[in-house]
Structure 1
Amino acid sequence: MTDLELNRLAVFWRPLIDMADCPWAPMRLRTIRHLSDWLAEPGAGHRSWFAMIGIPGLRDQLVRHAGLQAYDCADPARLPEHLRTPQWSRLVRILEGFAGLDDGTRALAVFQLAQLSYCRFASDLAGPVRPNGTQDRDRYAYEVARISARVPGRAPLALEVFEAVATVTKDPRLALAACAQGIGHAIRSDADVDRAAAFEQLAAGAFARGMEDDWHTHLVRSRYHRAVALLRLAQRRPEEMRQEIDGALRHSDILYATDPKGADRIVADENRRIIIESQIKAASRARGHESNALVRHYCDLLYGIDPTCVEARLVVGDGFAAIGNWREAGRWYAHAGELGTGAGAVGWFRAAQCFDLAGNRAEALNAMAHCLELDTTAVEPRAYLAAHATDR
């Protein structure tokens, strides 16, 4: 066995470290294998429909927390050759010839970089990409904008590209997808409700042009309803938010009716996962015993669909915290913390807060200590431990 196979964190995060496959990896990282296979056939017309994008800098956090500093590299080409898997070497070769690739393969390459958390590197490599009305270029511009929107300070430019794609492309599905991205990033980056509403109006043009009744159309329509649900939440229209979630679910159910396999199954599952997260947010804003039962139900569904994802575990914790079940919330936040990274540090901190509210000072102190192990600069955990040093 290799050192990676014996590493506690690498068991779950292996694809992010060296692109090797792993049965226990979270959903987002399971896309890496499919992207690598598609990059082995440049020019074959493969397209990615994956929704979730890697978190910038996540790989740096992981190799540090896992004690795998030898794998730390600012770009894929800087990983020492003796540590490269065949998949990693393939990606390096693709990047070396990036300028000569067709737009479709470029789109796959930059998305693979983003899944490995090299979002800024991918955005810089591609540079500004504008749509021109041709299928592959419009799709490439759309993917680069999705990645750039994750890089601090680049969301405004990404929003301009989404608007241009929605206006220029001849594919109404891509136009609708661009509007969905515009809505989501306008809300998340600047809480710009007016800009998000403008994308909703722009989407009317995509609907007016008509779309084929196929699997990917239902996927895009489900994503669009998800985005509008986020807008309705920002507009403080909770009932209409629920209606949009119901619309997203209807199209999601159609995706599963075909019994998708392989990459399509991941696409369907990640879409359903994001819908369930919206359901948790909607249900936790209700009142009474019914909402408590709903939150529990949705939390079970979310964990079942992506059990080893640190962000999913955080959302489950958020759900239980929203209904005041501090003990259960603390348990799930701690499960998130066990997976390391900056998100894991957040999990341990929230776990400590919940354990404290539940009256369990010993577990709160333990969780704060774990938080400091992952984030040595955290101020509040250090202050909490100092204030309660005599309680240990």
Structure 2
Amino acid sequence: MILQYTYTRSDPRGHPPAHRTGLDLDLDLNRLAVFWRPLVDLTDSAYAPVRLRAVPLVSSWLARPQAARRSWFSMIGVPGQRHQVLRHAGLTAYDCADPTTLPPALRSEEWSVLVRTIEAFPDLSLPARALLVFHLAQLSYCGFAIRLCGDVRPTGDPDHDFYAHEVARVNARTPGRTGHALDVFRQLSDVCSDPLLALAACFQGIGHTLRSSGDLELARAFHRRGHHLLPRVATDDWHSNLVRSRFHRAVALLKLAEGDTETMRWHLTMAFAEHDALGAGGTPADALVLRENHRYLIELRLREALRHRPENAPVLGEQVYRLDPYCVDARLMAGDGFAAAGKWREAARRYAHAGELGTAAGAVGWFRAAQCLDAAGDPTEALNAMAHCLELDPTAVEPRTYLTNSVSRRFSLGSQKGERPSA
């Protein structure tokens, strides 16, 4: 069976349904809030994905803007994800397009810090602005962050250029803004006085080019510039090793896209070597950065296995899952690993685990689970999974068609036997 990885939507602009739980304002009892708590009110949860475990840390840094530090976290939010979570969790009272408009009664202390920082934006230092931009992106407020900052271009000043880099990262994750971001990354790679930040702009350029357009020539241009910068970046500094690892990972991704498997594996080996040089990480923030980087490296191994060595995919998918067990995307990847090897029931289990976390990605998880259950010879559970998909996304075309055809088929069979379809 060839798995259809996603479905089409009858209305791409459709809003996720708001599920009423009866626990709308009691976050401690809300099932989805357990997993998404940092996204709801910025407080911590042991069951949050790795990306969101960084939210309370960054909030604590913003509480002392005069001592603002740089964030080296890589993962940022999917635009609009907080809106999806809140509606699926029935927490619509927390839903707001502007963070400063959340009702005071619902604000945690961390949210109050966010509001005060936004209101003080014109007077913030450049490092504090960069940190605020990343924090807003963590919360999936990408469009709000872009409007707050405007068009930020590099100047050659290290603090200003890091700020421009963070704004460009948010633009790169926002539909219709990737081209603008790539232009800023190109400028950073040329004018930035810090070779480490210039190299970071190159790996961002490679990754976002491949993600958005697949323009191999543009990705190669960023690769050439990064290759020229690499000898100027230290080899015995923690942040330098981190950025060098990320650059080699981006080049490996480019080589995978080109079909050059041998060179891809060499760069991936180099990325792991730079990662191993980082050690265990001396602070909670460093430990999270390391976990992020490790997950990305295993993901790339999984991508290669899905193309060329599907027999290795289940083990790699499970490694991604163990690194980030409460992340919806990690659960999807674990399912992908089992599906590539034709292990349909194991794949369905991981896909269903993704679906249990809600959001548009969770809807996709239920859709994939349904196909795997169908392939495993369990049409009743496949119907159930398709129904769960529609509950999260009523605009899903193929799940609706599947359910409609199944009901029609059962009605037809029941009529031939003189039976009434069960209620």
TM (normalized to structure 1)?
A: 0.96
SS in 2 for 1:3: coil
Aligned letter for 1:49?
A: W
Taking the TM superposition and a 5 Å limit, the aligned residue runs for 1:266-345 are 266-287=288-309, 291-292=310-311, 294-345=312-363
Q: Which residue of 2 aligns with 1:193?
A: 216
Question: Residue 68 in 1 paired to residue 91 in 2?
Answer: yes
Q: Which residue of 1 aligns with 2:366?
A: 348
Residue 105 (structure 2) pairs with residue 82 (structure 1): yes
Q: 1:162 aligns with which of 170, 185, 189?
A: 185
After superposition, the C-alpha distances for 1:214-235 in whole angstroms (9 at most, x for unaligned) are 1111100110111111111111
CA deviation profile, 1:118-169 (whole Å, cap 9, x unmatched): 0111111111111111111010000000001111111111001001111111
The match for 2:64 among 9, 32, 41 is 41
Range that drifts further, 91-100 or 245-254: 245-254
Q: Which has the larger radius of gyration?
A: 2
- Which of residues 91, 94, 101 in structure 1 aligns to 2:117? 94
The 5 A counterparts of 1:63-142 are 63-142=86-165
Distance 1:382 1:163 in 2: 44
Secondary structure (helix, strand or coil) at the match of 2:274 reads helix
Which runs of 4 or more aligned residues in structure 1 lie more than 6 Å from their structure 2 counterparts after TM superposition?
A: none
Q: CA deviation at 1:386?
A: 0.9
Secondary structure of 1:55's partner? coil
Q: 2:176 aligns with which of 153, 163, 166?
A: 153
Distance in 1 of aligned mates of 2:282 and 2:47: 20
The yes-or-no answer on 1:385 pairing with 2:403 is yes
Give 1:361's aligned amino acid. Answer: P
Report the residue type matching 2:256 in the other structure. Answer: L
Q: Percent identity?
A: 57
Letter in 1 for 2:172: A
Separation of aligned partners in 2, 1:262 and 1:55: 24
> Is it true that 1:23 corresponds to 2:46 in the alignment?
yes
Amino acid at match of 1:44: A
Question: Aligned-pair distance for 1:299?
Answer: 2.1
Shift of 1:258: 4.1
The residue that corresponds to 2:20 in the other structure is none
Contact 1:17 1:59 in 2 (8 A): yes
For 1:218 and 1:269, the matched residues in 2 are separated by: 15
Structure 2: runs of 5+ lacking an equivalent? 1-22, 411-421
1:223 to 246, 256, 277: 246
SS at match of 1:263: helix
SS at match of 2:66: coil
Q: What secondary structure, in the 3-state scheme, does the structure 2 residue paired with 1:139 have?
A: helix
Letter in 1 for 2:387: A
| Correspondence 1:265 to 2:283 | no
* 1:43–1:104 contact (8 Å) kept in structure 2: no
Structure 1 position 211, deviation (Å): 2.3
For residues 244 and 387 of structure 1, the distance between their equivalents in structure 2, rounded to whole angstroms, comes to: 48
Query: Could you report, residue by residue, the CA deviation over 1:247-269 in whole angstroms, capped at 9, with x for unpaired residues?
Result: 111111112x2443300000000
Change (3 A) 1:313 1:7: same
Q: For 1:170, what is the secondary structure of its paired residue? A: coil
2:367 aligned counterpart, secondary structure: helix
Question: Any gaps of 5 or more consecutive residues in structure 1?
Answer: none
Instruction: Provide the rounded CA distance (Å) in 2 between the counterparts of 1:33 and 1:166.
Output: 31
* Greater fraction helix: 1
Change (3 A) 1:69 1:45: closer
For the 8 Å contact 1:184–1:227, the answer to whether it is kept is: yes
Residue identity opposite 2:359 in structure 1: T
Distance in 2, Cα, partners of 1:109 & 1:259: 24
Partner amino acid for 2:259?
R
Residue 371 of structure 1 corresponds to 389
Matched residues in 2 for 1:50 and 1:192: separation? Answer: 26
Distance in 1 of aligned mates of 2:174 and 2:79: 7
Amino acid at match of 1:203: G
